[in-house]
Amino acid sequence: MKVSFPRMGYSYIALKWLVEHLGHDYIVPPEPSKKTLDLGVKHSPEFACIPFKILTGTYLEVAEEGVEVIVTSGGMGPCRAGYYWVMHQYLLDELNTGIKMVGLEPPRCDLIDFYKKLNWLRKTGGISLNAMLNVLKVTWEKLKVLDDIEMLSHQVRPYEKKRGETTRVLWKALEMIDEANTLQEIKDANNEGIKAINNIEKDTSRRPLKIGIIGEIYVVLEPAANHYIQIMLGEMGVETDRSIYLSGYTRNATIVNLEGDIYERAKPYMNEAPIGGHGVNSIAETVIYAENGYDGVIQLAPFACIPEIVAKGILPQVSKDKDIPVLTLFIDEQTGKTGVQTRLEAFVDLLEKRRETRNKIERLAI
């Protein structure tokens, strides 16, 4: 069977390995481009959010390559994303593509459904249960390592002497992870990648601003959807940390980790959780970034994303109380790279000015 999946950041490296070792042919979805978006906008409902439109476009692109099954995530709401696969099935049927959507519902919501669908993938691929468990383990390790490497690159990029070098080294490291097949190989690739990134020539005299990136998962994770905002900021000399990583649910090393009491942190501002998507998370994360000495926060969200709109309505109060500037960017098919860049530059200027005035006041106080 030819199987594909949605593309989100660098996760496709792990997912294609997963599909291949479940015994299927994989088709890697192309990086979202103008063509993807045009296709998606044409066939999606007008007010579907941008992730939906990009995915529609992506699915139609892989349909041309003869994909039979697309595996994606489900969800139990109240964010729209949980209904994506049903809606996509309707749209793909309308267009007679013959593609079957398999939406994996979160196991904690519907364990039986999750198991049934996974088992179906296993049986049609013709591998044993034990083999599948092993494959899942390796995939998970790959996802974690991919996130590790990417996280490091965002910390190093603002110090790089030669612009663009971090990104180049990052790609080399990603390739190494791509080629790894066992837990040991992944570990080695990871170590080597980390070494290579750390060896990049750095200018340690710089004092980069620190910005936290929060918001809706898809536009935060997929660089093509957010106009490579982290790379853009990195090259402006800003260190970024983003709140969401695919493997983030089990991490403690990250600044924002979901194991803790993320909803507790939002409670003074939002006495209800979850409200869908990452709405409440955005509020809590702003609080956390403020308390960790970050200079600013950027909220990324698709246009008309309901949970993020609720968050946006409350964030001004958080910003005031915690004294941290917040920039909200709503992204839709009309958003252009230059527009984003201009706004980012203005925001960074503002943060720099703010830091300067603060330092002056501190010096005077001394």
Partner 1 sequence: MAKIGIPRTLAYFNYYPFWKIFFDELGHEVVLSTPTTKGILDDGVKVAVNDACIPIKVYHGHVVELANKVDYLFCPRLVSLRKFGDFGTETFCPKFLGLPEMIRYGIENVPEIIDVRVNLGSAKKQIDKVCYEVGQILGNLPNQILQASKKASVIQKKYEELLHQEFLPEQALDKVFTNKKKAKKIDKKDKFEPELKIAVVGYPYAIYDNYINVGLLNILKNENVKILTQDMVNDSDMNKQIRTLPKSMFWYYSNRVIYGTLHFIHRGDIDGIIHVTAFACGPDSMVDRLLEIEARKRSSIPYMSVMIDEHSAEAGVRTRVEAFLDMIRYRRDKN
Which residue of 169, 305, 344, 348 would you call a contact of partner 1, by CB under 8 A?
Answer: 305
Of the CA atoms within 13 Å of residue 38, those in its CB half-sphere come to: 3
Pairwise CA distance, residues 135 & 130, whole Å = 9
> Nearest-5° angle of CA 257, CA 332, CA 242?
20
76 binds partner 1 (CB under 8 A): yes
CA-based max dimension of the chain: 72
104 binds partner 1 (CB under 8 A): no
Instruction: List beta partners, residue 302.
Output: 331
Work out whether 215 is an interface residue with partner 1 (CB under 8 A): no
Q: Does 55 bind partner 1 (CB under 8 A)?
A: no
Of the candidate spans 57-65, 85-93, 284-292, 343-351, the one that interacts with partner 1 by CB under 8 A turns out to be 85-93
Structural Rg of the chain based on CA atoms: 21
CB of 116 to partner 1, least distance (A): 14
Minimum Å distance from CB 45 to partner 1? 4
Which of 273, 325, 333, 317 lies closest to 299 in space, CA to CA?
A: 325
Residue from 48, 31, 26, 42 nearest 94 by CA: 42
Residue from 64, 65, 86, 259 that binds partner 1 (CB under 8 A)?
Answer: 86
Report if residue 309 touches partner 1, rule: CB under 8 A. Answer: yes
Among residue numbers 174 through 203, which ones bind partner 1 (CB under 8 A)? Answer: none
**DSSP E strand stretches across 37-96:** 69-73
To partner 1, the closest distance from the beta carbon of 176 in angstroms equals: 40
Q: Which is nearer to partner 1, 233 or 298 (CB)?
A: 298
**String of DSSP letters for 190-234:** HHHHHHHHHTS-B-TT---EEEEEEE-HHHHH-TTTTTSHHHHHH
The answer to whether residue 102 forms part of the interface with partner 1 (CB under 8 A) is no
Pick the binder of partner 1 from 277, 286, 290, 351 (CB under 8 A).
277
Choosing from 66, 78, 260, 339, the residue that interacts with partner 1 (CB under 8 A) is 78
* Residue 210, strand partner residues: 239
Residue 46 lies near partner 1 (rule: CB under 8 A): yes
Q: Given the complex with partner 1, which of 236 and 266 has the nearer CB atom? A: 266
Q: Does 313 bind partner 1 (CB under 8 A)?
A: yes
Which residue carries 């990134």 as its tokens? Answer: 197
214-218-219 Cα angle (round to 5): 60
263 binds partner 1 (CB under 8 A): no
**Residues making contact with partner 1 (CB under 8 A):** 45-49, 52, 76-80, 82-83, 86-87, 89-91, 94, 103, 109, 269-272, 275-277, 279, 303-307, 309-314, 316-317, 330
